[in-house]
Each structure stands twice: as structure tokens, then as C-alpha cells.
Amino acid sequence: MLDGSILKLLVDGRGEPDTTPLNYGVYYKNTLVALCHALEDCILTSGSAPLVITAFQRGKWYLEEADRYSAIADKAEQVVIMASPEAGFHDHPTSQRENVALVDLADDDPVAEEWHLMILSPDYTAMVLCQELSVADYGKAGVPEHDLERKFYGFWTFDSALVSETVELAIAHVNRYNPALAAQLAEHLGTLKQQSPALRGEESSAVSHTVAQVVHYLQNSRNDLKGNLAFSLVDDLDQNLFSNELQAFLRMAQLVDLSDPVNPLAASEVVSLLEMMGQLLDLPAWQMQRLRLAGMLHRIAPAPVVANLTGDGPSCPLMPEVQALRLMPRMRAIAAIIAHQGECWDGSGYPAGLEGDAVPLESRMLSLVAEFQHRVAEARHGPPTDNNTAALGEVLATCQAEAGQRWDPKLVEILGLMVMGLQQGMSLPTIPTKITLGSGLLNPDLDDQPTVYQPSSQLTPR
């Protein structure tokens, strides 16, 4: 990272413990173009006027986007564009808008090597923070000939606290060039900090819409690659785009956990419990992989209010989050697992009222483990106690009382074995989700595996 760059200042200034993993990754420019267009377009449908700060590296890249930034300026309270000045940089009509400010970066300014997009408002927040690889970083292959194959290092996020922190750094950088503008931005930022979302559900809904938009843009970009002979790294570009489709959902799930003061470790602990249960059942690797990803994403879909009961077999409910997952062919099995986590063993659940063994095995496992983890988290959040093992036993007892009604009795028995292990000192790792693994979390043939309706009578721990 370049000294003096906004990315490095953010990283160097982060305190301990680091509660928000940055999850760095390497992105091709064509991925960043599609990603930024999706995030920018969501400004047009947001409910409030955001503060938008961007770094375009060079004026010519801004000029390619200047017309679309005119539409963004119609919705934004303030737009700030940082770039090295070039012919026409100040002459485009968008640059003359009252709420659009240009900051001419010096040639030796490290921010001139960065690509940033910061969007901050009470109901919609997003950020891309990247830095272009140096010539030395490219190695023997050298800098790509095609502009869209250039690479950048950094991350993107929906975390409003992280975006706010980065905006402060950007304002400090603007102050070097235009103190009056920096003072205006600081005042606006202060106002935004006081306008926190009235309802967390409103922010979650905005993120859900944005994720669907990101997936659409990235898929369209992948379609544009097909048969395009101009690119020399088609497979790598395609994989990078797909990886970010999955990252969009993982970042949404991360935001749900970060926003929950009672249960911020839900995803990591549910994944650990699912892996423990899966190992006891000796499940195959592909099924464990499905469960792992379903555990990471299980909180992105709230309980549906409309059930889709058409057809003879189970189907996903009409929840936007689940339907967005189904846009990705390799995620359809994961979507089905998450959609049916509300089913009950006695058939009284949602969305399809499935009963007994008709509920997919992975959904049965996910629903039980997720509820157990949730109840344990609530117990931890209650009055302090020195007897954590007793709390585990009490939560297990509530699940055992619901066996045969809400839960698969065999799975409750297996959960009992797991609790015995935890009470005897077995640790439950809470490894942070490595979001930038992206497509590495999915095998190409993962969705080709059948939905599992394994009879409860066949569930015997090894």
C-alpha cells in the first residue's frame, strides 16, 4: 500500500480489536466498473440525498462517467470527485453543477493511484476502496494491454461505520487542496452521523435491493465477456466477476451480524455447529460445503409473509433475498436450504408446510442449529453467570422439549451429543468469514448434487 494513500491511512488507523474484517481482494477493472455502476445506480432509488466522494485516478476516467454523474448529482446532496486534472476535466457540464466539486490531485499524490467510491446517507451506504497494483506487483506478465484487465487491491463494503471513518480520511485529504470545501464536507458528515436509520429494517431492505442490483450488473458483465476476443484473461475475468456476486451476499450477511449487538457471531458459530453435526453424521464433502455456505448466509432472509405452494415439491418462498440468490445457478441449492429453514417437523412451518422427512436434511440441520445458537447467544447476553455449561444444558432442554414438533428428533439427539462435548471443554471456533474467498466456497458441480430428503431413521452418528 502506498504511504499517504487513503487505503493505507484507514488500515494503519484501525484499532484493536478489529470488529469489522476488511476482507481484502484483488479486482480486475471490469469488475470494479460493474460493481461501482450498480452501487451508484442505487443512489437513484435511495430515500435520502447522500454524500458521494470518488477518486477516479485521472480526469479522463471521470469524463467517461460524467454524464451518469449528472443523474447522481440530481439525487446527491454533494458529489466530490478527486482526479489528476486533464483536458476537459473542468469543462464538462456536470462539473459546473453547484453540488459537484472537483479536486485536482497532484501528480505525486498517492490518491491518484487509487479508485474510491464512498456513498454515505442514513438509508443507503456503500464503499469501494482500492489501489492499483504497481508495475512490480504485476510481475513477469507485466501491465495488461487491455485497460479493463488492470488489477486493483482493496475491498468493498456496506458497513456504514467503516464508510463514515473513511469519509473522514477523504475529507482530511481534500483539506490539503480546498480547506473551504473540506469544512463544508465535515459539517455535512456531522449532520449525517446524527441521522442514523430509524429502523434497521429500512437499511437492511436497501442493502437487499443493492445486492440484487450488484448481481445483475456483474452477470451482465460476465455475459459481455462471452466470445469477446479483445480480452486475454477471459476465464480470470469471469471468475473475478462471479466471486464478487457471491461476495455481495456474504457482505450483506456480515452486515446483519455486525448490526446485532446480542448475536454478532451468529454466522461463524452456526457454521461451526453445522460442521460439527455434519462430521458426526459423516456427510460427504459436497454436502458439508453446502451447509457451510448456507450457515454463512442463513440470516439474510427474514421469515416470509407469502408462501409459494405451487407444484408438488418444495420451492423457495417469494422473498427478495432468496430470489436474488436464485439468480446465480450455482446458488440455487443454497437458496432452497435457506428458504426452508422455517419448516417444522410436524408440518406447521413455512414456506411450504413440509412435514417430517419431506423437509430437506440440510434445512432441518440449519434450522435447529441456528435456533440453538440464537438461544445460547441470548443467554450469554443476559445476567452474568459463572456456569456456561448449565446455560448450554438449559438451551438444549428447550430444544428437546420441541423435538417431534418443531425439530427432527434424531437431529436433537445428535445436538445433545454435541452439547456434551461443549460442556466437557470442547471449543467452538468462531473463525471470521473470509468473504474474499468468493467462488472458492463453491465447487462448479455443487448445485448438480440432488436435494437431500434423508429419512430421520437413517441419521446415525458415527
Q: What one-character-per-residue DSSP string does 60-121 give?
A: HHHHHHHHHHHHHHHH-SEEEEEEE--TTTTTSGGGGSTTEEEEE--TT-GGGGEEEEEEE-
165-174, 272-281, 312-321, 451-460, range with the lowest pLDDT = 312-321
pLDDT score at 434: 52
pLDDT of residue 330: 74
**By CB neighbour count within 10 A (0-12 exposed, 13-18 middle, 19+ buried), where does 227 fall?**
exposed
| Class of residue 293 by CB neighbours under 10 A (exposed 0-12, middle 13-18, buried 19+) | buried
Q: In the chain, where are the structural domains located?
A: 6-258, 266-458
Going by C-alpha positions, the residue among 439, 444, 391 that lies closest to residue 419 is 391
pLDDT at res. 29: 86
Asked if 145 and 47 touch (Cβ cutoff 8 Å), the reply is: no
pLDDT tens-digit series, residues 357-398 = 999 999 999 999 999 999 998 888 776 665 667 788 899 999
User: What value does the CA radius of gyration of the chain take, rounded to a whole number of Å?
Assistant: 24
CA 274 to chain centre: 21
In terms of pLDDT, which residue wins out, 308 or 212? 212
Mean pLDDT of the 425-445 span: 53
Tell me which residue has cell 445436538: 415
Q: What is the mean pLDDT of the chain?
A: 81
CB atoms near residue 275 (< 10 Å): 17
Fold of 266-458: Hypothetical protein af1432 (1.10.3210)
Residue-level pLDDT at 198? 44
Enumerate long-range contacts of 406-409, CB under 8 Å, 24 or more apart.
406/344, 406/345, 406/346, 406/349, 407/344, 407/345, 407/364, 407/367, 407/368, 408/345, 408/359, 408/364, 408/368, 408/456, 408/459, 409/345, 409/456
